Amino acid sequence: MTETTPPAAHSPSPHGSAWTDQRVEIWVGIMLRTGVMLAAAIVLLGGVLYLAHSHGPRPDYTHFHAEPASYTTLSGVLHGLAAFDPRAIIMLGLLVLIATPVARVGMCIVGFLFERDHLYTAVSTIVLLILLYSLFFHK
Amino acid sequence: MTALVFSLILLVSALAAGLLGALSGLGGGVVIVPLLTIVFRVDIHYAIGASLVSVIATSSGAAAAYVREGFSNIRVGMFLEIATTLGALVGAWLTTRVPTHAIGTVFGLVLLYSAYTSLKQHHDLLTQKPDALALRLRLKGRLPTGPDSHEDYVAQRIPAGFSLMTMAGVLSGLLGIGSGAVKVIAMDQAMRLPFKVSTTTSNFMIGVTAAASAGLYLRSGYFAPALAMPVMLGVLAGSLIGSRLLVRIHVRTLKIVFALIIVALGVEMIFNSLSGRL
């Protein structure tokens, strides 16, 4: 346990895991809010650019045609960004948003490691592995 | 209709959905899919994609506030996320294979059920009986009940809670919703956790559960950027405003109104699915 104080804890007990738990949760909360606000700002930027450049009728969503590869893969989105495609900017915001809860699980692993809580380090690692599998391999 | 007008109408509708969702405690996600499919004639797959991103945004945006109150239990949440993420993998896989009318019908039933649970009175069924498995898994905690008082609780019936959570995950992946209603049932009814702990921990879990479906949704092309943009921004703004208003207004009437809207949408959803119009 280090000497740093938690930013805004209500009467934390100075000893034991409750204190560290609360500190981890507070940092997790800050991280989640930052991730969401960053994602929303990127989506908003992409949205404004998209609307500024689109003059035609609204897109038709009544029938499902999977979005093209430029919006379904990371490399597609990155190519779109290089070309300054507003929809790719929106997609980047969505990817940041999806990464936020994944990062929160990663932070919990670190927190439990600091607490020497081996059981919950393992539990969080399992959750992270399931998430990484779902993001990269799930078919 | 131009793209600009369409986006603005979507933004305002999503804002209203997020506001009502936060005020009623049901979350905005549950009305986004019926709103998009029934009112805006959007294909259910795009609707599910747009809904999922708003669910992640709301859950993560609100979590910071809940964490500060000290009600959510990260061990309970993390342990049960094994169940919800595995369930979500199955649900997302199903949604790419199951016919649209089946998804619509299940969605309608979930809406009716959510409306019912939102109006039910809640009684905490706390027991202090030590449950051997719960103690070994450290699924216990302390609920602050006042400035200097607290109440200790221990989870009960872990297998039942875990199974229900898997179900919640399947529904989340299948329908692009947070399935908070089922998560709360699993915790406060099956596992006998205090209601406040159940609702806040559920909210905390929703983002992680939803993220487990996002990869397959992305690869399957469910995220239409220009559609998801106004929906996600609207729901997020609405739910942030809603959670601020929450302390100041009378919720009961609003809850009934929102439940009635959800029942109407649920019936419409089932009707459209069965008559092949979805």
Residues A52-67: tens digit of each pLDDT = 987 777 788 888 887 8
Q: pLDDT (tens digit, 9 = 90+) per residue, B180-211?
A: 888 888 898 889 888 888 888 888 899 999 99
Residues on chain B touching A108 (C-beta within 8 angstroms): 74, 78
Identity of residue B134: A
Give the pLDDT score at A17: 54
Give the pLDDT score at B64: 63
At B125, is the pLDDT very low, low, confident or very high (cuts 50, 70, 90)? Answer: low
Residues on chain B touching A126 (C-beta within 8 angstroms): 82
At B128, is the pLDDT very low, low, confident or very high (cuts 50, 70, 90)? Answer: low
Mean pLDDT of chain B: 86
Q: Are the beta carbons of B142 and A18 closer than 8 angstroms?
A: yes
CA distance B95 to chain A (A): 12
Residue A16 has pLDDT above 60, yes or no: no
Nearest by CB: B75 against A120, A133, A137: A120
Task: Note whether A32 contacts B: Cβ–Cβ < 8 A.
Answer: yes
- Of chain B, the percentage scoring pLDDT greater than 90 comes to 38
How many angstroms separate the Cα of B22 from the Cα of each of A13, B31, B149, B225? 32, 12, 28, 24
B89 to A73: CB separation less than 8 angstroms, yes or no: no
How many angstroms separate the Cα of B263 from the Cα of each of B116, B182, B266? 9, 17, 5
Give the pLDDT score at B160: 92
Q: pLDDT (tens digit, 9 = 90+) per residue, A73-97?
A: 888 899 999 888 999 999 999 999 9
Residue A124 CB-density burial (10 A; 0-12 exposed, 13-18 middle, 19+ buried):
buried
d(CA B175, CA B169): 10
Q: pLDDT (tens digit, 9 = 90+) per residue, B220-264?
A: 999 999 999 999 999 999 988 887 776 556 567 777 877 888 888
What is the per-residue DSSP string for B32-56? HHHIIIIIS---HHHHHHHHHHHHH
d(CA B251, CA B258): 10
What is the per-residue DSSP string for chain B? -BHHHHHHHHHHHHHHHHHHHHHHTS-SHHHHHHIIIIIS---HHHHHHHHHHHHHHHHHHHHHHHHHHT---HHHHHHHHHHHHHHHHHHHHHHTTS-HHHHHHHHHHHHHHHHHHHHS--------PPPHHHHHTT-EEEEE-SSS-EEEEE---HHHHHHHHHHHHHHHHHHTS--HHHHHIIIIIIS---HHHHHHHHHHHHHHHHHHHHHHHHHTT---HHHHHHHHHHHHHHHHHHHHHTTTS-HHHHHHHHHHHHHHHHHHHHHHHHTT--
Nearest by CB: B3 against A59, A65, A117: A59
d(CA B220, CA B173): 13
Q: Helix count (H) and strand count (E) of chain A?
A: 4, 0
At A6, is the pLDDT very low, low, confident or very high (cuts 50, 70, 90)? Answer: very low
Residues on chain A touching B53 (C-beta within 8 angstroms): 94, 97-98
Residues on chain B touching A36 (C-beta within 8 angstroms): 57, 60-61, 236
Query: Domain total for chain B?
Result: 1
At A28, is the pLDDT very low, low, confident or very high (cuts 50, 70, 90)? Answer: confident
Structural domain boundaries in chain A = 19-52+69-136
Give the pLDDT score at B248: 59
Instruction: Kindly state the average pLDDT of the residues A15-39.
Output: 77
What residues pair up with B152 in beta bridges, in sequence order? B142
Nearest by CB: A101 against B2, B207, B224: B207
d(CA B81, CA A122): 13
The boundaries of the domain holding residue B130 are: 3-274
Q: Which of B58, B73, B85, B101 to mutate to test the interface with A (most CBs of A within 10 A)?
A: B85
How many angstroms separate the Cα of A14 from the Cα of each of A5, A11, B99? 10, 9, 56
A47 to B230: CB separation less than 8 angstroms, yes or no: yes
Nearest by CB: A28 against B42, B67, B229: B67
pTM of the model: 0.88
Residues on chain A touching B223 (C-beta within 8 angstroms): 67, 71-72, 91, 94
CA distance B252 to chain A (A): 29
DSSP assignment, residue A6? P
Nearest CA in chain B to A25: B67
Nearest by CB: A71 against B211, B213, B223: B223
Q: Cβ–Cβ contacts within 10 Å for residue B152, how many? A: 10
Any idea how long chain A is?
A: 139
Give contacts of A 82-121 with B, CB under 8 A: 87-88, 90-91, 94, 97-98, 100-102, 104-105, 108, 117, 119-120
Mean pLDDT of chain A: 83
Residues on chain A touching B82 (C-beta within 8 angstroms): 123, 126-127, 130
Residue B132 CB-density burial (10 A; 0-12 exposed, 13-18 middle, 19+ buried):
exposed
Q: Cβ–Cβ contacts within 10 Å for residue B267, how many? A: 13
Give the pLDDT score at A8: 41
Instruction: Kindly state the average pLDDT of the residues B161-173.
Output: 93
Q: Are the beta carbons of B155 and B76 closer than 8 angstroms?
A: yes
Output the CA torsion sign for A41, A47, A49, A52.
negative
The tokens for B182 are 């089922």
How many angstroms separate the Cα of B72 from the Cα of each of A25, A127, B199? 9, 18, 8
Give the pLDDT score at A10: 41
